[in-house]
Structure 1
Amino acid sequence: MANVALIGGTGMVGSHILTSLIANPSVTRVDTISRRTPPAAGGTPPAKLTNFVSGDTATWPSQLSSLSPTPSIFISAFGTTRAAAGGFDNQYKIEHGLNVEMAKAAREAGTRVCVLVSSSGASKNSSMAYPRMKGEIEEDIKNLGFERTVILRPGLIAGTREESRPLEAGARFLANWAGKLHSGLKDGWAQDADVIGKAAVNAGLKALEGDVPAGSEKVWVLHGSDIIKYSKDGSS
């Protein structure tokens, strides 16, 4: 049985993570920390779900540290865009800073497993700003020394976003169209948001139990085909 803390639960993938956590009988408590109330929280029994809502993200780490019981799993699907942040420098400060600070607070509180939704191509050595930022978030979280760190690197995230991202819209349309023809035409380069959400929860629970692939005892990285596989592996 697991207690889980989640950030990013109002986003495209995070909302599906929250839905999966709520539905999973192996999860006894879910604490979300967000700027607004997650849409998936409606109608959920309060005994299982608690939402902390604050637009002041500086309060988030202390809120996480004060959770009782201590979450056994910390999941982050938190991210922002360059446009919403007002430029890449601010995006980096918000996305890198908050992800690492929250993971650090979880680690210091005694959380055993960290699950991070990252991105395909993430690399601290990338010449491109966005994948380099994602890679640096991964590295800094790995260096915190969780018992196990799970990193999901999905390709294009298929589905419907609340906010407008015109550059992604055409690719998402193509992915959705290809998936209707045959899943094999899409799964290698794009995964549905609900599939990623289920995989994040199932992989986190497996990591908590120590049920991870050989060679992934400390850090377990799931790419597209792994995400598809583990979305089907579990009860959520």
Structure 2
Amino acid sequence: MANVALIGSTGMVGSHILSSLLSNPAVSRVDTISRRTPNVAGEAPQSKLTTFVSGDTATWGAQLQALAPTPGIFISSFATTRGAAGGFDNQYKIEHGLNVELARVAKEAGTKVYVLISASGANKASNIPYSRMKGEIEEDVKALGFERTVILRPGLITGTREESRPLEAGIRFIAGWAGKLHSGLKNGWAQDADVIAKAAVNAGLKALEGDVPSGKEQVWSIDGSEIIALAKE
């Protein structure tokens, strides 16, 4: 049975990750740390879910460090947008800073498996600021030396967001239409949020048991159609 800590539990992917964790019999306890209460918290068994809610993210590290028992798996689907952050510099400070800091706290606390929801095209050498930020988060987390690090790199994430993103909504419509014609027209470049969530949970549990592909014992990167395949297991 696994104990899991999760940040990003109120986002489009994170909310599905939380639901997947709560419904999985291999998970005994889930601790979420977030700015607001996750939507599913009111319906979740209180014996399985504990939520810590604070708008002051400076308190999150201490809360994560104090969790007992120490979570065997730490999952981050935490992210923000340039608009919400007030510019890319602030987005980088929030998203990169908090992800890496909490990963460091989890590692020092004794967490064995770290699962990160990253993005397709993440590359620390990219000329695209967003892709470079995602790549730098990946590299800084890998440098911490978790027993196993799992990185999911979805393409376009399809599903319903609470906040409005008109351009992305249009592309998601195209992805949905393509998927209805044939899954092969969509799966390589777009994945549904609930599918990504199931893949993240399955991969984290597999990594905790040491059930990872050969050659990926320390860092297991998962993208595209592999995410979809893993979600079905």
Where 2:115 maps in the other structure, the secondary structure is: strand
Separation in 2 of the partners of 1:225 and 1:179?
Answer: 13
CA RMSD in angstroms, aligned pairs only: 0.6
Structure 2 equivalent of residue 93 of structure 1: 93
Per-residue deviation, 1:42: 2.4
Separation in 2 of the partners of 1:110 and 1:45?
Answer: 26
Structure 2 equivalent of residue 205 of structure 1: 205
Deviations 1:162-214 (A, max 9, x none): 01112211110101111122211110100000000000000000000000001
Structure 1 equivalent of residue 13 of structure 2: 13
Per-residue deviation, 1:149: 0.1
Structure 1: give runs of 5+ residues left out of the alignment: none
Separation in 2 of the partners of 1:186 and 1:40?
Answer: 29
Where 2:167 maps in the other structure, the secondary structure is: helix
Structure 1 equivalent of residue 144 of structure 2: 144
Matches within 5 A, 1:99-114: 99-114=99-114
Matches within 5 A, 1:1-236: 1-233=1-233
Separation in 1 of the partners of 2:202 and 2:108?
Answer: 24
The answer to whether the 8 A contact 1:159-1:176 is kept is: no
Aligned-pair identity in percent equals: 76
Under a length normalisation based on structure 2, what TM-score does the superposition of the two structures give?
A: 0.99
Separation in 2 of the partners of 1:42 and 1:16?
Answer: 15
Q: Which amino acid aligns with 1:119?
A: A
Deviations 1:67-100 (A, max 9, x none): 0000000000000000000000000000000000
Number of positions where the alignment pairs a residue of Structure 1 with one of Structure 2: 233
Where 1:107 maps in the other structure, the secondary structure is: helix
Deviations 1:108-165 (A, max 9, x none): 0000000000000000010110000000000000000100000000000011110111
Runs of 4+ in 1 over 3 A off after TM superposition: none
Separation in 1 of the partners of 2:69 and 2:115?
Answer: 18
Separation in 2 of the partners of 1:189 and 1:25?
Answer: 31
Q: Which amino acid aligns with 1:203?
A: A
Separation in 2 of the partners of 1:218 and 1:58?
Answer: 29
The answer to whether the 8 A contact 1:2-1:29 is kept is: yes
Separation in 2 of the partners of 1:14 and 1:25?
Answer: 19
Under a length normalisation based on structure 1, what TM-score does the superposition of the two structures give?
A: 0.98
